C-alpha cells in the first residue's frame, strides 16, 4: 500500500460527519456535513474518480477553485480537496508533483484510460466547500414575492462574481440558476457561484529563466482571445456561439444576461427531466419553446420584447422578423 510523506490519513478517523444529502448531479453527490474539529457546517461534494470523464470534470472543478489565490464573497469557497483511495485520505493541492495519486489522476484524465482505480477499489475526490444553506437561485427567487431590492443586489453580486472569475482567467461555462447558491451566513442573502465542473482555466505562458515556455495562470491573459470549442452548458443559457462550438468567456456574459432577465421578469419554464420550475428566458416558436441562444443562431436579427401576460407576471414575447427571401 502506498503511503506518502505523512500526508495520508486513515479514513477510519474521518474529519467530517455527513448529515444529509443536499443534491445529486450527473457525476456526484453533495452532502451537508459537520467538521469534527471546528463544529462548522460545510458542504462536501463526492465525485467518483473511476471513468476518465469523471476525473476530467473533477479536475476541472479542482483546478478552477484551487487556482484562485484570493477569496471572493460571491464565489463558493473551496476549503480543501481530499482524495480517498484504499481506505486512505490525502489532501491534494494544485500541481502537487510529490503526490503520486494526484499525478495518476491527471494521467487518467489525459490518457482517457483508467489508471487509478479498479471497480473493486473505487477512488473518490471530496470537495469540502462553504455551506450555502439558502438553496439555489431558482428556489430563492420563486419562493418569495418579487423584490426589486433583492434583484438589484443579486444583479450586482452576480456581475461581481463573473468579473472576478474572468480577471482570474476562469470561464465558468455552466452559469445557470441551479449553480448559483445562496448563503445567509452574514444576515442578508449572499449569492455564490458554484459548480465549476465544466469550467476552463485559460492559462497564459511565459518564458522561464532557461528560455523554456511555461504555463502561467497569473500572466495577463486576454480572455476574449481564448477560444473554446467544447459544447458546454445547459441549453437555455447557452450563447449562439456556444451552439456553434466556437466561443470565448463572453459566453458567460450571455448566460448571465439570460439569468438576470429571467430573474427580473420572473420568466420560468418547466424542466422536462426533473419537472422543476426554473428561471430562464426562451422564445415561443411553433407551439413550443426554444432557448434564446439557439433562436438567435438561426436568426441573429430577432427582436426581443416583453409583454404583460397574466395579472402579476411578465412573460417574454419574442417578435421574430421574417427571414429574408432567398436571393433577396
Ligand X SMILES: Nc1ncnc2c1ncn2[C@@H]1O[C@H](COP(=O)(O)OP(=O)(O)OP(=O)(O)O)[C@@H](O)[C@H]1O
31 vs 164 by CB, closer to ligand X: 31
Burial environment of residue 168 by CB neighbours within 10 A (0 to 12, 13 to 18, 19 or more):
buried
146 vs 269 by CB, closer to Mg ion: 269
Work out how close the CB of 179 gets to Mg ion at its nearest, in angstroms, rounded to a whole number: 5
Residue 224, classed as helix, strand or coil, is helix
132 sits near ligand X (criterion: CB under 6 A): yes
30 binds, among Mg ion, ligand X, none (CB under 5 to 8 A by kind): ligand X
Range 213-218 contact pairs with CB under 8 angstroms and sequence separation of 24 or more? 217/67, 217/168, 217/169, 218/69
Query: b vs e for 90-106, b when ≥16 Cβ sit within 10 Å of the residue's Cβ?
Result: bebeeeeeebebbebbb
181 vs 262 by CB, closer to ligand X: 181
- How long is the chain? 328
234 sits near Mg ion (criterion: CB under 5 A): no
* Given 8, 33, 45, 116, the residue binding ligand X (CB under 6 A): 45
Q: DSSP secondary-structure letter at 180? A: E
* Catalytic one of 136, 174, 178, 252: 174
Instruction: Decide if 198 contacts 223 (C-beta within 8 A).
Output: no
Work out how close the CB of 241 gets to Mg ion at its nearest, in angstroms, rounded to a whole number: 22
Q: Which three cell numbers stand for residue 133?
A: 444553506
Of 219, 191, 194, 193, nearest to 207 (Cα)? 219
Task: Examine the residue annotation and report whether 174 is marked as an active-site residue of this protein.
Answer: yes
Total residues contacting ligand X (rule CB under 6 A)? 21
Stretch that binds ligand X, among 124-132, 242-250, 268-276, 305-313 (CB under 6 A): 124-132
Give the integer Cα–Cα distance in Å for 60 and 68: 13
* Given 43, 81, 223, 264, the residue binding ligand X (CB under 6 A): 43
195 sits near Mg ion (criterion: CB under 5 A): yes
Give the integer Cα–Cα distance in Å for 234 and 147: 27
Query: Which residues does residue 128 pair with via DSSP β-bridges, in sequence order?
Result: 44, 80
26 sits near ligand X (criterion: CB under 6 A): yes
131 binds, among Mg ion, ligand X, none (CB under 5 to 8 A by kind): ligand X
Work out how close the CB of 276 gets to Mg ion at its nearest, in angstroms, rounded to a whole number: 13
130 vs 252 by CB, closer to ligand X: 130
Residue 46 marked as a ligand binder = yes
Q: Where on the chain is the footprint of ligand X (CB under 6 A)?
A: 22-23, 25-28, 30, 43, 45, 76, 129-132, 136, 178-179, 181, 194-195, 197
Please give the positions annotated as active site: 174
Amino acid at each position: 500500500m502506498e503511503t506518502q510523506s505523512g500526508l495520508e490519513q486513515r479514513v477510519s478517523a474521518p474529519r467530517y460527519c455527513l448529515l444529509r444529502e443536499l443534491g445529486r448531479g450527473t457525476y456526484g453527490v453533495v452532502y451537508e456535513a459537520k467538521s469534527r474539529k471546528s463544529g462548522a457546517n460545510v458542504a462536501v461534494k463526492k465525485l467518483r474518480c473511476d471513468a476518465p470523464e469523471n476525473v476530467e470534470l473533477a479536475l476541472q472543478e479542482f483546478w478552477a477553485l484551487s487556482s484562485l489565490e484570493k477569496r471572493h464573497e460571491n464565489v463558493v469557497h473551496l476549503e480543501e480537496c481530499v482524495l480517498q483511495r484504499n481506505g486512505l485520505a490525502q489532501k491534494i493541492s494544485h500541481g502537487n508533483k510529490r503526490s503520486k495519486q494526484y499525478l495518476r489522476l491527471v494521467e487518467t484524465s489525459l490518457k482517457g484510460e483508467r489508471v487509478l482505480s479498479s471497480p473493486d477499489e473505487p477512488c473518490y475526490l471530496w470537495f469540502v466547500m462553504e455551506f450555502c444553506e439558502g438553496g439555489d437561485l431558482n428556489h430563492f427567487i420563486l419562493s418569495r414575492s418579487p423584490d426589486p431590492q433583492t434583484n438589484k443586489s443579486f444583479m450586482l453580486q452576480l456581475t461581481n462574481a463573473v468579473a472576478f472569475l474572468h480577471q482570474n482567467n476562469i470561464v465558468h461555462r455552466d452559469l445557470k440558476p441551479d449553480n448559483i447558491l445562496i448563503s445567509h451566513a452574514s444576515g442578508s442573502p449572499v449569492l455564490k457561484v458554484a459548480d465549476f465542473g465544466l469550467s476552463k482555466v485559460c492559462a497564459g505562458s511565459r518564458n522561464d529563466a532557461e528560455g523554456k515556455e511555461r504555463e502561467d495562470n497569473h500572466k495577463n491573459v486576454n480572455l476574449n482571445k481564448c477560444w473554446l470549442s467544447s459544447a458546454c452548458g445547459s441549453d437555455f443559457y447557452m450563447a449562439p456561439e456556444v451552439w456553434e462550438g466556437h466561443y470565448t468567456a463572453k459566453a458567460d456574459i450571455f448566460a448571465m444576461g439570460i439569468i438576470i432577465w429571467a430573474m427580473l421578469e420572473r420568466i420560468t419554464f418547466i424542466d422536462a427531466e426533473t419537472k422543476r420550475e426554473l428561471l430562464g428566458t426562451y422564445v415561443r416558436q411553433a407551439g413550443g419553446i426554444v432557448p434564446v441562444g439557439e433562436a438567435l443562431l438561426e436568426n441573429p436579427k430577432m427582436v426581443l420584447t416583453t409583454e404583460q401576460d397574466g395579472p402579476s407576471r411578465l412573460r417574454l414575447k419574442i417578435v421574430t422578423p421574417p427571414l429574408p427571401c432567398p436571393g433577396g
